[in-house]
Chain A
Amino acid sequence: MSLWSRLRRTFRPEQHSREIEEELAYHLAMKEQDAAGARAARVRFGNRTKLREETRAQDVLMWLESLTRDVRYGLRQIGRNRGLSAVVILSLALGIGANSAIFSIVDAALLKPLPVKDPQTLRAIWWKNHGWPDPLCTMMNGDSEGDFNTAMRGSSVSVRAYHELAKEPGGFTAIVGAGDPGKVSVTSGRRPAERFSLQYVSANFFRELGVEPRLGRSFRDSEDRSGAAPVVVISDRFWRGYFGGRTDVLGQVLRVNNVPVEVIGVAPEHFFGVQVGEWVDLYAPLSAQVLLDPRDRLNADLGEKDTYWWVRLIGRLAPGMSEAQAVGMLSARFQHAVAPAGIRVDQKKVPKLFSLPGARGFAAFGGDDGRALWVLLLLVGLVLLIVCANVANLLLSRAVARQRESAVCLALGAARFRLLRQYLIESMLLAFAGGALGLLLSRVLADGVHSFIRANLGIGGFDLHTDWRILLFTMLVSVLTALLFGSAPALQLMRASINDVLKAGSRTVLSGRLRLPRMLVAIEVALGFVVLAGAGLLTRSLVNLEHVDIGFDRQNLIYVSIDPWAAGYQSGQVKQYVERLRAQVAELPGVRRVAIIQSRPFSGSMNMTTVNAPGLPFARDQEHSALLNMVSDGLFETMGIPLIAGTTFKPADLKPDSGAVIVDEQFAKHFFPGRNPIGQRFGESGPALDPKFRIVGVVKNNRYNSLRESARPTFYQPLSVGMNPGAQINLVLRTGLPESKIAPEIYRAAAQVDRAVPVTEIKTQNALIDHLLLMERLLSILSAAFGALALLLCAIGLAGLLAYTVARRTNEIGVRMALGASARQVIGFVVRQCFGLVVLGVVIGVPGAFLLGRALRNSLFGLTAADPVSLGLSLAALLVCAGLAAWLPSLRAARIDPMSALREE
């Protein structure tokens, strides 16, 4: 019967049933005619409907029945060989679990849409402009791309612009506004202050995103007006952590930055906000920024200023509306909305809006970090392939043992297809068992990696709970794995010739030279080589980065950051305070020198400006830009940056507008090539030359924010403390004691000067640099772990194969020994075979290692993709592991007693 008619019959059963009904009716009628009598006939015939159904179900049932039979048979086979099955399931659990763990992190960090309603209809709305949108914006918070002088893109607008746009969202059903999450201090009752992440959001945030609070309510429009009493919605995580999940949390009062706020709701479980990687603990209305942000008590109403752009926009596209149209409508309104009252702006200079996909919100995690995660997924995938090869070999040995059984089945008329299906079903059962166990394992692994990322990257964390995406991935990987490792025994089976198997006397008939198992082990070694080479490249890059010459002595250098502005100081008071604190700290035991610096090297923040040097045609580009830092007297001595020419700052230079600057060698060489830089003048940021700076000294180059990029031209201005309201102030300490000994003393000294001024951070230079290297460190640790796992698997694979070879060739070895072969020769025979396989595997693996190296090239530092040291080390590791793997089998071979070996024959 054709497949078509079978399908039609399965899905359109009425006609088929009618025919059967008629056929049975005929049968019954004939029977009734017979002398035996109608009654007897009906009794014997039984239930007509049931019979009809049974007849119809025959083809569907037959298929299902044979499937369940195969599954039961498969389970029996797995149960019969418990040891082997346990090893197989455990290795699969390890391989699949590691994959599913890394996938869950990749998924949460890079793929998964936001936990909101219809994330696909969300758009992030940005603006673009030629250059900085002067004079509309004086301060910006959020993401921005591009240069002051080129096409610029920014993520945020002013609060007023947000409200104007949200009032008439045009082609969007709604527009939601949100600032960037920031840290706040939270206290309640007698609890000491703790730091949590808070995000200011528009009143419609929860409502329009379709996020229903699990307790209480979300914001009312009236709560996002200036003057409204501040309220917060807390995250589920904060609710459980801070309040222990108490149900009477609503109406509780927290002090946020020392301002009382009322808790009105709890966000649903797994809702982390709209920025992947940041886990927001508290949500407050946009208008609360003015009340809660300590900076703003000084700067009055910064959060409401039209020139402070800090609110990101998310729009939900109305159904049937084209994106271009919706954004166009909004952009037109933005032109009116954005101008501060009383300022007339050239319409050409008003930024235009455009939209980006918003389903994943505002990614806080991307670029290089994202690539690093993909690399991990690739490496862990290779490890799984090794697991597959190993499992395939294990199953192959069992398949060989079962070859006779299969041959008998074939001889009795079983279809090869059925046997194949039987094998695949067994493989699937094993893979699903491994996958289920792996899923449990993956939770543990993912939590471990996740807490490393959280603790060290300083991010709020990802949502890693086991959802259908992770389940689906694990299942797909399990199926794929089963097809991979199941195909080897199946292949063996398909090739088996019934006659050979049945005729041969020996119990196991695998083609004499073990071609398939040897090939699998060679592939294992090749994959292991690739993983090891990757781990080597990443680890050596990390070591190279750690040993970059940064231009000064990074040991025993401590930065103390203070924020006198938070205590309500004015500019003049700040200067006095800092001088007093500096004097106090200098007196502490173990402190050798103290200075003040505006931007700490490797802290991630730095000023950049364009330089206008005489004799050099001006342009606003990278060529003319330089880094600018403000430093106090004694800074170069404290940091250990050597002076090369001229002098450091003298007291006269420290006056504002003295124009004295110190440049580094690179600056001198770049802007004043071939001239003595001392006494030269230059200006900044403008085509009109105003040479207000005068070079008084030249210092050695040092690096600022990146270990990867070479040092950039830098110049230093004398720091006038207090001239930059709100800016954090950093003391630099050169000490003779470790940070742990000094830190308590510093807190005590700061408290002595003024208890109200918070010490916001104490960090060593090494800690700042380590923070930059966290992703590299994570990559290095995990890739090394995968490398070790790969090595272990290769060793198991090799040892297993060799042991099997020795066992199979006991006779042959016995004959050789009887004919005079020494134990050394026998060992040599096994070891040669082992190293032959390793060499073969490495030869196959080399192109793979090159390819991986190329894929990794953005993560590499100070070496090429074909780094001979990494490749050499990987080879060495494999050879050592091969030596160990050959140890036991070769000893066993050497201990074979020729007499008993021959007698066995």
Chain B
Amino acid sequence: MPKTDNLQGSLEILILKVLRRGPNNGYAIATSIEQASDDVLEVEEGSLYPALHRLTEKGLLEAEWKMSESGRRARFYKLTAKGRKRLETEEARWHSIHAAVAKVLRTV
């Protein structure tokens, strides 16, 4: 059983999901999420970076400094094997909770 104290917000799943496509920096992650959600979800920088560091802390992400497309040094985050596995379980869980909530909303 994964050892997590409490459920962090959905932001963490979204970060993991975005990084599934490949390593990226914080700013790109934020814009990816915003674009993918048709700007419904807005990523606060105040949540994004703490979340990135938290995930790195837990060993779900790895970080290193690289050159970005714009030619500046940026910190790139990469999914670890553990992170990949976590993404799968969290995704499954999310779907089941989502389905359950939806069902309750429909029937009650």
Which A residues lie at the B interface, using CB under 8 A?
Answer: 1, 6, 19-20, 22-24, 26-27, 29-31, 33, 44-46, 51, 54-55, 58-59, 62, 66, 413-415, 417-418
Contacts and interface: CB of A to CB of B under 8 A. Distances in A.
A415 B3 contact: yes
B56 A54 contact: no
Interface string B45-72: 1100110011011010000000010101
A54 B45 CA distance: 11
A26 B73 contact: yes
22 contacts: A1-B57, A19-B75, A22-B75, A23-B26, A26-B26, A26-B27, A26-B72, A26-B73, A27-B27, A27-B45, A30-B70, A45-B45, A46-B46, A55-B50, A58-B54, A58-B57, A59-B54, A62-B54, A413-B2, A413-B4, A414-B5, A415-B3
A26 B25 contact: yes
Nearest to B46: A51
Interface residues of B, number: 24
Contacts of B72: 26, 29
Give the interface centre of B27, B56, B72 by most chain A CB atoms within 10 Å: B27
Contact of A30 (B4, B5, B27, B73): B27
A27 B4 CA distance: 29
B14 interface: no
B11 interface: no
B53 to A, nearest CB: 5
A19 B73 CA distance: 11
B1 interface: yes
Contact of B56 (A1, A27, A62, A413): A1
A1 B45 contact: no
A413 B1 CA distance: 7
Q: 4 closest Cβ contacts across the A-B interface?
A: A30-B27, A415-B3, A23-B75, A27-B27
B64 to A, nearest CB: 11
Nearest to A23: B75
Contacts of A22: 73, 75
A29 B25 CA distance: 13
Give the interface centre of A22, A23, A46, A413 by most chain B CB atoms within 10 Å: A23
B18 interface: no
A23 B70 contact: no
Interface string B21-32: 000011100100
Interface in B1-17: 1-5
Nearest to B30: A27
B46 to A, nearest CB: 6
Contacts of A51: 45-46, 49
A45 B43 CA distance: 11
A6 B30 CA distance: 26
B46 A54 contact: yes
A700 to B, nearest CB: 84
Contact of B74 (A26, A31, A46, A415): A26
Nearest to A19: B75
Given A27-B27, A51-B49, A415 B5 contact: yes
Nearest to A56: B53
B75 A26 contact: yes
Nearest to A414: B5
A22 B63 CA distance: 14
Given A33-B70, A45-B45, A55 B53 contact: yes
A58 B72 CA distance: 26
A23 B54 contact: no
B27 A31 contact: yes
A417 to B, nearest CB: 8
Nearest to A410: B1
Given A19-B75, A26-B74, A58-B53, 19 more contacts: A22-B73, A22-B75, A24-B45, A26-B26, A26-B68, A27-B26, A27-B45, A46-B45, A51-B45, A55-B50, A58-B50, A59-B54, A62-B54, A66-B5, A413-B4, A414-B5, A415-B3, A415-B4, A417-B3
A417 B68 CA distance: 41
B101 to A, nearest CB: 16
Nearest to B54: A58
Contacts of A418: 5
A418 B3 CA distance: 10
B86 to A, nearest CB: 12
Contacts of B56: 1
B43 to A, nearest CB: 11
A32 to B, nearest CB: 11
A676 B1 CA distance: 97
Contacts of B68: 26
A87 B74 CA distance: 60
B74 to A, nearest CB: 5
Contacts of B45: 24, 27, 44-46, 51
